[in-house]
Structure 1
Amino acid sequence: MIRQSQIKRPGFIERHNLWTENQKEASQKIKAVVKEQDLLFVRAAWSDQHGIVRSKWLLAQAFLSALENGMQISTGTFLFDTGGAMVFNPFVPGGSLDMPLMTGAPNLVAVPDPDTFTIVPWAKRTGFILCDEYFQNGQAMPFSSRGILRQSLLELDQRGLECIVGLEVELYLAKLEDPMLGLAQVGCSGKPGEPAKVSPLEHSHQYLFESHNPEIHDLLGVVVENLVEMGLPLRSVENEGGVGQFEFTFDPIPALQAADTMMIFRMATKQICRQQGYIASFMCRPGLEGCFSNGWHLHQSLVDKTTGENAFMSANSETLISDLGKHFVGGLLKHANAACVFTNPTINCYKRFRPYSLAPDRAGWGLENRGVMIRLQGGFDDPTTHIENRVGEPAANPYLYMASQLICGLDGVDHKLDPGSPTEEPYTTENSLLPKTLQEAISYLSESKLFSQKMGQQFINFIIKIKHSEINRFLESVTDQPPEEYLTQVTNWEQREYFELF
């Protein structure tokens, strides 16, 4: 006779049917790897609303349990702005979010995604995995940015399409001179500490300068070796125009995998460099002498899942891109200003939108033109045809960045929006100007019926309140400066807030 206590009850993941068959198979392989490699820890991680990796270190046995029941985490990481200031009071009904499930800062369940498991090569006996967040009743957490991208991809899948994304990301590397770890320097909640003091990695501004390679080869070699060992689809590395500025590009891959890759890339690069005595910063415009802005150019195409063909490729010798592709561009341009909250979520990055630079200052498009927002590459009968959105900053949350592209682009497809003619003069066309500040971008988002409908009004209210907290703290720090200064020059507040965070 079988006793009740001997019956194995299904775990949280099985009860709520949260994994596909492929994920279930992958989880069995992970269990074998944990045992074979005698892993001590697995870092179970998730993305917060800012696109920052948060994690818990689980000992091996606890991780194996999490593969059945998930991992208990606090809702705390959803309550703070970029500086760690608490935006929402959880100890009132609804947690200040009009959500009964958020009352009292209850635990969430972080469910590991077996498709993202990897070994951390720079840390002994350590694994890493990304998670999705759920409430205790199995309901998806509506503020999960990875979940929001999944929803956008589900809508795309229902149209018989798949989104393919190529990452092109710029960052700064600098030698760490003083980490500023004195008690008076480390800061507190809502007031980040003094930024680390750094020195240049190389001498002078020289774009793609081969002779600088002896200065940077060893560090880049360590970074690249670890990224490749983690299985990231790295394609190239190049020295950009700024002192210590580099660009990393990755092979085109499906959108969710690309977003996960960006999360892991930023996290890994920062940790590897710090271990070597350097700082890697994805801040858009660091407060370093002679600094150029960092951009994150997002290469995108859609593929017909039935035929496998590029849905942006033109079959008409008189057109550069298919009708679907043209309307997709039309949607990106129409909703560009509202989408800036997701493509450009920091105060710092709006100092990058300058005329006659390698960044756009208005919502236009063109063929092989690096001054436009949407750069078209390819053309008639070219299977590599795709668009490159040059608006984004490398500190953006990758899930929200990519979701915003699909939301805007598909609205253009549904309404057959015409992007107008491609331009050869991106800084003098009549296209609408991009926002000059984060506050201006928020104003556009608050008026957007499209984003409220697709991401949910609850999430839009949440992200706007988070960003208002960030803006208010910034404005309080610059009361003694005229706007023409703090809106154009990188302030000490920005360096403290973003340089080491992103």
Structure 2
Amino acid sequence: MNKTLHVSHDGFISRHQLWSSEQIAAVEKIQTSIQEKNLRLIRVAWSDQHGISRAKTLTIPAFQGALKEGIDFNTGPLFFDTANAIVFNPFVKGGGFDLEEMTGCPNYALVPDPLTFRVLPWAPQTGWILCDAYLKTGAPLPFDSRQVCRKALKELDEKGYDLMSGLEVEFSLTKIVDNEINPELLGAPGSPGEPPKVRPVARGYQYQLEAHNDEIDEILQVIVANLEDLGLPLRTIEDEWGPSQIEVTFAPMRGIAAADAMLLFRTAVKQISRRHGYIATFMCRPSIPGFFSSGWHLHQSLVDAETGENLFIPEVETESLSVLGKQYIAGILKHARASTVFTTPTINGYKRFKPNSLAPDRAGWGVDNRGTMIRVLGGYGDKNTHFENRAGEPAANPYLYIASQIFAGLDGIENRLDPGEASDEAYLDERESIPRSLQEAVDSLSESNLFQNKMGQLFVDYMIKMKENEISRYMTYVEQEKVQDYQNVVTDWEHREYFEIF
């Protein structure tokens, strides 16, 4: 088999000038990897609107063609909510999107990004690459979340900034007891079946207990080895607050790399765990007795696009953040309610926002205060000065989470907003509350001129309709089952909806 790859000068990618010189140069490295690793298959992946990886697996000759023309990809996944319920009718004019190019569930083009190529250490002779989505005209697909993130980063770059972000992510690791693959338990589109029966991998509530990590060292060693082989900048892995809860952190990454890493990290951990008889879930709070909520804290700073200098270091000793940094967090606080659709996109995630819970319940900020939404770390003379947004859930689409922060933060800079005084008592602060439900967040997004202007009216309307369909199915369940206190209780509906897919 001829495994030599060539960059075409007359294909879809070249014709529409969709690759940078850096991406073109990276194809040579892909060619070397394919030859040296004797690869047979390449998974060509794309992040859907939920931040879930969808993919086609290509043979090497087919992949060679994809580096010229991209690959055709069915628009079908764009029509579905988190349970594969059809939200839009593709067979009406505009495909339900009010976009002519979407009529009839057509194909669009996925264009591989050569800078994201990896060899998957757990899948024999298999490579992996991320894609950007384009219409057949060569224009970006308006519903591609990675393209939305690229747009936000471009706005930063035009102002001379770049984003530096670090991932701090919690998830639950469980051992499969019964896989539950029986026909009567499979469910249907829009009505997920029973997930596998699982058990915790550790008992008790002993925060950062070394013994808990040692109990599951065998699977942790496998996960860590694979993540390192992927080149992900893993820093720490530790036992968290609840049973079976694990937290990992990564070294800071620049630009879109952090979002790509989050997508690959979740995909890798889930696949590796499943191959060894475990289920790793990034669902915020599984419906398993005794399990605690998990969060995703996104650490952020702006750097000079040319020099890499941290622009959040305060100018004077008495301040915790630079003027620019304060303006940036002021924008994020101002738009916190609308952006919660992107930081916390599931119904389940809102059951985490409770007073005195190490999760925020209002849009405030503080200096090294774990009760506030924005926790500032560092200070005068500290080159690592940054903040973390503690409102995120681990199931969030990383591209939309990051894009929402950039657009909101830039609004704060452009309008020279002031975040007010730092909070000492996070849960008593006179600040605007974070939405108590996904419906509240969607209502706030529908009123947000900022996100409609920056992400595009078409995209925001699309996400609102997608989320409203999810909410509608949930409320139907709540009414039929007469669920009491449904805003606080984790229901069986949520467990079926999110446990496996996230």
Give the TM interval when normalised to the shorter protein: over 0.9
Instruction: Give the superposition deviation at 1:107.
Output: 0.5
Match of 2:217 in 1: 217
1:135-156 deviation line (CA, Å, top 9, x unaligned): 1121110110000000000000
Aligned partners of 2:43 and 2:128 also within 8 Å? yes
Match of 2:323 in 1: 323
Instruction: Give the superposition deviation at 1:480.
Output: 4.2
- Provide the rounded CA distance (Å) in 2 between the counterparts of 1:213 and 1:50: 30
Match of 1:434 in 2: 434
- Provide the rounded CA distance (Å) in 1 between the counterparts of 2:454 and 2:407: 7
1:211-265 deviation line (CA, Å, top 9, x unaligned): 2233110010000100100111111100001111000100001130000000000
Match of 2:201 in 1: 201
- Provide the rounded CA distance (Å) in 1 between the counterparts of 2:213 and 2:371: 29
Match of 2:3 in 1: none
- Provide the rounded CA distance (Å) in 1 between the counterparts of 2:188 and 2:483: 27
Runs of 4 or more above 3 Å deviation = 480-484
Aligned partners of 2:74 and 2:108 also within 8 Å? yes
1:304-352 deviation line (CA, Å, top 9, x unaligned): 1244321111121222111110011110111000000000000000000
Aligned residue for 2:426, secondary structure, equals: coil
Call closer, same or farther: CA 1:9–1:292 in 2, change over 3 Å: closer
- Provide the rounded CA distance (Å) in 2 between the counterparts of 1:222 and 1:115: 25
Match of 2:177 in 1: 177
Aligned partners of 2:9 and 2:15 also within 8 Å? no
Match of 2:385 in 1: 385
- Provide the rounded CA distance (Å) in 2 between the counterparts of 1:214 and 1:394: 24
Q: Normalising by structure 1, report the TM-score.
A: 0.97
Aligned partners of 2:81 and 2:467 also within 8 Å? yes
- Provide the rounded CA distance (Å) in 2 between the counterparts of 1:214 and 1:254: 33
- Provide the rounded CA distance (Å) in 2 between the counterparts of 1:264 and 1:158: 28
Instruction: Give the superposition deviation at 1:32.
Output: 2.7
Instruction: Give the superposition deviation at 1:114.
Output: 0.3
- Provide the rounded CA distance (Å) in 2 between the counterparts of 1:422 and 1:409: 17
- Provide the rounded CA distance (Å) in 2 between the counterparts of 1:225 and 1:159: 39
Instruction: Give the superposition deviation at 1:383.
Output: 1.0
Alignment of 1:259-278 (within 5 A): 259-278=259-278
1:393-431 deviation line (CA, Å, top 9, x unaligned): 000000000000001111011111111100110000110
Report whether the alignment pairs 1:107 with 2:103.
no
Match of 1:117 in 2: 117
The amino acid across from 2:298 in the alignment is: L
Alignment of 1:92-491 (within 5 A): 92-480=92-480, 484-491=484-491
- Provide the rounded CA distance (Å) in 1 between the counterparts of 2:395 and 2:285: 10
- Provide the rounded CA distance (Å) in 2 between the counterparts of 1:305 and 1:73: 34
Call closer, same or farther: CA 1:9–1:294 in 2, change over 3 Å: closer
Aligned partners of 1:255 and 1:402 also within 8 Å? no
Call closer, same or farther: CA 1:104–1:467 in 2, change over 3 Å: same
More off after superposition, 268-277 vs 480-489: 480-489
Q: Normalising by structure 2, report the TM-score.
A: 0.97
CA RMSD, aligned part only?
Answer: 1.1
- Provide the rounded CA distance (Å) in 2 between the counterparts of 1:34 and 1:416: 50
Structure 1, gaps ≥5 residues long? 1-7
Q: How many residues align?
A: 495
Instruction: Give the superposition deviation at 1:482.
Output: 5.5
Instruction: Give the superposition deviation at 1:484.
Output: 4.9
The amino acid across from 1:339 in the alignment is: S
- Provide the rounded CA distance (Å) in 2 between the counterparts of 1:37 and 1:297: 36
Aligned partners of 1:31 and 1:64 also within 8 Å? no
The amino acid across from 1:88 in the alignment is: F
- Provide the rounded CA distance (Å) in 1 between the counterparts of 2:130 and 2:482: 43
Structure 2, gaps ≥5 residues long? 1-7
More off after superposition, 31-40 vs 177-186: 31-40
